[in-house]
Amino acid sequence: QAQLVQSGGGSVQVGGSLRLSCAATAYTPAIKCMAWFRQAPGQEREGVALIYTNTGNTNTAASVRGRFTISRDNDENTVYLQMDSLKSEDTAMYYCAAGRSVCTLRPRGDDYDYWGQGTQVTVSF
């Protein structure tokens, strides 16, 4: 069973950058895609970006397109989320996820099989 360990995050000012990492610590031969979701207090979990592990193709939510970039290092079994030009509305708990079959950015992330522990991102003025 895959285990996802997240790192990165923290606090930054508006306009700043952060990078999140998500390392799969177990053998994951059946993983089709990995994704990042986020959840702000009182709001539904929102899909941010996903990447297909074999092709590297990506899909990014409109709310972050042009500012966030998802990438992968298959040798290290790690997925990254580079976040630039951060806004206060990007403040949320960020989660990485791994899926074996269906890969979407639909809210809540019900398609995904494994989840990281979450990491807080706070963007302030």
Give the residue with greater pLDDT, 74 vs 81.
81
Q: Tens digits of per-residue pLDDT, 37-66?
A: 999 999 999 999 999 998 999 999 999 999
* Measured CA distances, 121 to 18, 29, 34, 55, 60 (Å): 8, 30, 19, 28, 18
Pairing relationship of beta strands 18-24 and 78-83 according to DSSP bridges? antiparallel
Q: What percent of the chain has pLDDT over 90?
A: 85
Please say if the pLDDT value at position 28 is more than 70: no
User: How far apart (Å, rounded) are the C-alpha atoms in residues 58 and 81?
Assistant: 12
